[in-house]
Amino acid sequence: MRMSITISVSDEVANELSERKEQDDSHNDVIQRLLDDRQTTDEPDRDMVEDTGEASLADIVDTVADDELPGSGAKLEARREALHAVVEYLQTEGTASRADFTEDVYPDHKAGYTNGEDPAYSWWSNAMCPALGTVAERSGDIQKADTSGDWS
């Protein structure tokens, strides 16, 4: 089934697509060839990737840390590092639950959550979970937890 969508690209990308078009090609044909070529290599051809001005995942995480995480100064910096570690862990593992994050990330990135009855739970519920949810909303790289509680 063929679906028609419109995407916005920079002038440079549009020019590159036009230059890569062969006679009787559509832009779809050019893009499909590029995708097929990319799938046959281990690494994407970074020269063909145009900077669209969109924020990187790391930039999104930093912005979310500033907007969402409680604290300031050194405490906020520690929580920012913890959020980066949570995102990196999720990208490495592919999926993760609250228990995975609190068991595997929290011990090295406590970010000031060391007191109380269950500091790992506080770390997750008061800081990492809400911030990770916002990262998911702002980025296509992370999906919010599904009904099983797994993030991806």
pLDDT over 90 at 87, yes or no: yes
Please say whether the dihedral angle defined by the alpha carbons of residues 146, 93, 131 and 142, taken in this order, is positive or negative. negative
Collapsing DSSP states into helix, strand and coil, what is residue 52? coil
- The larger pLDDT score, comparing residue 92 to residue 52, is at 92
Q: Compute the distance between CA of residue 110 and CA of residue 12 in angstroms, rounded to an integer.
A: 44
In 94-128, which residue ranges form alpha helices assigned H by DSSP?
98-104, 119-123
pLDDT over 60 at 76, yes or no: yes
Binned at pLDDT 50, 70 and 90, residue 85 comes out as: very high
pLDDT in tens, 111-130: 999 999 999 999 999 999 99
Mean local confidence (pLDDT), 97-124: 95
Mean local confidence (pLDDT), 70-94: 95
- Measured between alpha carbons, how far is residue 3 from residues 6, 7, 28, 30, 136 in Å? 10, 13, 11, 16, 26
Q: Compute the distance between CA of residue 148 and CA of residue 97 in angstroms, rounded to an integer.
A: 8
Q: Compute the distance between CA of residue 103 and CA of residue 120 in angstroms, rounded to an integer.
A: 8
Report which of 55, 56, 57 is spatially closest to residue 91, judged by C-alpha positions: 57
> Do 86 and 141 contact (CB within 8 A), yes or no?
no
Report which of 68, 73, 102 is spatially closest to residue 85, judged by C-alpha positions: 102
Q: What is the pLDDT of residue 27?
A: 75
pLDDT in tens, 24-61: 777 777 777 877 776 665 554 444 444 455 679 999 99
Name every residue whose Cβ is closer than 8 Å to that of residue 33 and which is 6 or more positions away in sequence: 20
pTM metric for this prediction: 0.64
What's CA 101's distance to the chain center, in Å? 16
Using a pLDDT cut of 70, give the percent of the chain over it: 81
